[in-house]
Amino acid sequence: MRLTTCLLVAFCLLPLPSLAQEAARIVAENRAQIEKPSRQTIGPLIAELVGSNDPMADDILSAWADKRLVIRKSDSAMFVAVAEGDGFALIALDGTPAGTAAKAELTELKPNAGVRGLIATALVQFTLSDPDPRKRQAALTSIAQDPTAEALEPLRAAIASEEDAGLKAQKVRLERLLTLRFDPSSQARVAAIDSFGSDLGLDLRAALNPLVATTRIASSTPPEGNIARELRLGSDIPEDEAYVLLVAASLAPARLTLEDQRAALLANLKDGMVAGVPVAELNTQAARDRAYTALEASGAVPVAATDDEAKAALKAAKFYEVYVEPDPAVTEAAEEALTRIGTKVGIMQTADLGLDALSLASIYFLAAIGLAITFGVMGVINMAHGEFITIGAYTGYVVQLYVPDYTLSILVALPLAFAITFAAGVALERLVIRHLYKRPLETLLATFGISIALQQILKNVFGTQARPLTSPAWLDGALVINDVVSISYIRIAIFVLALIFLAFFLYLMKRTRLGLEVRAVTQNPAMAASMGIDPDRINMLTFGLGSGIAGIAGVAIGLFAKVTSELGTDYIVQSFMTVVVGGVGSIWGTLSGAVMIGSFQKVIEFFNPSNTLAAQTYMILFIILFIQFRPRGIIALRGRAAGD
């Protein structure tokens, strides 16, 4: 018993082959193949290195692919070379340092592109299981960008050992995408396609589209393969294109042009005859065709098809669209999946268009709400309203010059813009507007002149270049619902701001004394005055309030638009249209008008995305027609603005 134990201990103490030397052994046994590799024979060697579990196998394969696997000329030893200064640091194939060498002392092993491709595929398995999650992520990105059949098995092998939940989900999804394209089993490919359901991912559509790609062929009999449909000559495929397919399929010779025929006949003219046909008889196309056919029979000219022969060949042949993918079950599953996806994409595009329209409506509502107050309550056509928007945007820009925190600067800019534009509106009303009540033409001309003057003042102060109004970092990016539907956070913030102003305006008009007085002056100024309300004071406060709201709208609009002296002119027309279409003096009418105009503009842009000017032109025409049928807007109020 003691002897047995001693023998067992002695056996255990015997030197065993080190795992770290396994790759070195494989390389030594297959050195000739490594020095002169062939894509057809090198595969088993690479697979053996990968399966060795030797940590050096990854380094050896990487060095081989990068032309850093070298042979030292002095003793023909093989090393992994690492650039170091003017020379290289050498690492033995068992991982031990082996000194340095100059470039002239080494011979680089340079595998061809095919071998490098096999090595790259083998390295995927190492990279997908690398301890560094960033390298694993980079490997997944690389495979997704250039999917190959060779990456499928390494990817499957790397799924079970993945501990990161996010990366594992990516691996599983990518494995299904590769399966539906490259798995040898038809059932597995169909199952992978069906597993996605109506997933809207762009990567899925990119994987499915090659499965339904087709090519056109000509054939005298129904061809073998996965036929998509038979093409009708003339309607599905032009005759010229069909004949090119015939020539490519060797079912007909190249078409004979009249110039080539004439040259061939002249070249074979002898004793006044061409192939036994007298020159005098070559005055018809049929005779020239007959002569050329005789020359073909004698081998004097290359075989070519005349027009009649080409037409006959086209009638005799059939033309097909054939799937590139040979498996009908796979193409059928792919077609069904793309149909499902197409239906859902259409629904999502409609939803995305609705979000865009709602976003644009929020912008128009913010720009028009101040105008709705001044125009609706006071009946004043204020052409300088756009410049109050611009002043608000420039206020935000100036605040950011002194308050570097973008979140804090926006919080400071909003009330400051309201205060500045409120004061400017009160000053405008006191100095100009109050003297022009009930004189709309003079009011329009006066405010138009003030608009031009304000634009020039802003140019003199801030210059003509666009100024940045930077949004806080938390407003960067977009809320992505899927690959079709998304909306920027700035647009969401503007939508929320529009709702806040809607609630504020409703509270002001329905729950405060000022709102009660404004409504009274709007409906009947004379009666309001007899009840002790000062219409002059209400007009001043109303105009200031509308101008102040325009300033806040300017800060919001400046977050995504260029802040220039002409910023307001981009919104003044839409603001007036919003108020008029919605109904003068009605906040709900302004909201309805903003939604209608924003939606209509986005629908037009959807059908004609390259021409926004056309969208605005059609929108104006639509509004003109709309006003013909509802001259007082969607929601009409009784009062001074309505003409009572």
The 10s digit of each residue's pLDDT in 9-29 is 333 333 434 445 777 788 787
Q: How confident is the model at residue 7 (pLDDT cuts 50, 70, 90)?
A: very low
Does pLDDT of 5 surpass 60?
A: no
pLDDT at position 179 is 92
* Cα 465 from chain centroid (whole Å): 30
For residue 596, pLDDT over 80 is answered with yes
**For 53-62, 391-400, 523-532, which range has the lowest pLDDT when averaged over its residues?**
53-62
Q: How many CB atoms lie within 10 A of CB 146?
A: 9
100-134 per-position pLDDT tens digit:
888 888 888 888 877 777 777 777 767 787 788 88
Return mean pLDDT, the chain.
82
User: What pLDDT is stored for residue 375 in this prediction?
Assistant: 74
Q: pLDDT value at position 12?
A: 39
Confidence of residue 638 (pLDDT cuts 50, 70, 90): low
pLDDT tops 70 at residue 642: no
Q: Tell me what pLDDT residue 190 has.
A: 92
pLDDT in the model for residue 637: 57
171 neighbors 128 (Cβ within 8 angstroms) = yes
**pLDDT value, residue 86:** 79
Q: What is the dihedral of CA 278, 279, 285, 289, to 10 degrees?
A: 60
- What is the average per-residue pLDDT within 361-367? 85
Determine which of 34-48, 57-71, 186-200 has the lowest per-residue pLDDT on average: 34-48
Q: What's the mean pLDDT in 319-328?
A: 90
pTM of this structure: 0.63
Render pLDDT for 238-263 as a digit per residue (tens, 0 to 9): 888 888 888 888 888 887 777 877 88
CB atoms under 10 Å from CB of 302, counted, come to 12
Model confidence band, residue 376 (pLDDT cutoffs 50, 70, 90):
low
CB within 8 Å of 380: residues ≥ 6 apart = 374, 433, 437, 440, 443, 447, 543
Alpha-carbon separation of residue 15 from 10, 11, 93, 95 (angstroms):
10, 9, 19, 19
Host H or E run for residue 497: helix 489-511
When comparing pLDDT for 454 and 509, which is higher? 454
